[in-house]
Amino acid sequence: MTTTRPHWIIIPGAGGVGLTWKAIAEKLDAVITPIPFADSVTEIAEGIAAQLPEHDGPHYIIGASSGAMVALELARLVRVDGCLFTASGFGIEVGDRLLRWLADDPPGIHTKIAKIGLADDGADRDKLDAVVADYDACGAELHVSQLSAIAHYRPDSGVRRPFSFVLWGDHDRSIPFEAHRVLAMECGGALVPLENCGHLVHVDRPDAVVAWARRLEALTTR
C-alpha cells in the first residue's frame, strides 16, 4: 500500500470559481480547478491535464455538477484512482432559455440561483452570501461559457471508469435522482443519498463530502 498522500483535484460546478470549496480543499489538501473558458468539455479536460504536476501517488477527483462531466473526461487522460461526484448525472441537460437568462445577467440573478441550490432556500444567510459571492466572482460570461460546453457534452456509455461515489441531496431541484443513479451505475460505483441537502451539496453538507472522500481513499488507495 502506498504511503504517498493522495492528490485531490476539485472541479467546481458551473457558475463558481471555487470560493465555497476552500474549507473542504484545506481538509483534503486539494487543488481547486474551476472550469475555464473553452469550447468543449474535451478541451477543458485536456487543458487541466496539461497543468497537473507530476505526482507519484493516486489522483482523486471531486466533480460537482458540471464539474463531474469534466472529471469524466479528465479520467480518460490521466491516472485517476477514484472520483467523488456531487449533484450530477451522466450528462446534463442545459436549456437555451437558461443560457439566455444567464447571459442577460438581470439584477439579483445570483441570489435566485443560490436559493434554488440550497436546501433551506437561503434561510442561512451566511451560506447564501458565500454562494452569491462565488457566483459574482465567476461572472455571467464565464458561467454561460461553462454551461454551453456542458450542454454539448454526452459521455460515452460502457467506458471503464474509476470507482466513484455519487452524492445525491434529497432536496436537489436541478438534477433528478434518476440521473444520479445512472452516473453511479456507469462508473460502477455507489449512490449516496444525503438528507436535508440541496444541489450545492458541498455547502449544505461539507462534512459529508469530506467523510465520503476519506472513504473513497480507504477503498481505493493501493
- Predicted confidence (pLDDT) per residue in 103-150, tens digit: 999 999 999 999 999 999 999 999 999 999 999 999 999 999 999 999
Separation in Å, CA 27 to CA 30, 31, 97, 164: 8, 11, 38, 20
* pLDDT value for 52: 79
Average pLDDT, rounded, for the chain: 93
Q: Rounded mean pLDDT of 171-188?
A: 96
What are the pLDDT digits (tens) for 13-41? 999 999 999 999 999 999 999 999 999 99
Terminal C-alpha separation, the chain:
4
pTM of the model: 0.94
Per-residue burial over 104-114, b if 16 or more Cβ lie within 10 Å, else e, is eeeeebbeebb
pLDDT band at 56 (very low <50, low <70, confident <90, very high): low
Q: How open is the CA angle 187-188-194, to the nearest 5 degrees?
A: 80
Q: Please, which residues bridge with residue 192 across strands?
A: 167
Tell me the Ramachandran region of residue 168: left when phi exceeds 0, alpha when psi lies from -120 to 50, beta otherwise: beta
Q: According to the model, what pLDDT value does residue 1 have?
A: 43
Q: For residue 54, what pLDDT is reported?
A: 65
Which region holds residue 18: left if phi is over 0, alpha if psi is between -120 and 50, else beta?
A: left
Eight-class DSSP state of 16: -
pLDDT at res. 160? 87
**Per-residue pLDDT for 5 more than 80?**
no
DSSP summary character for residue 164: E
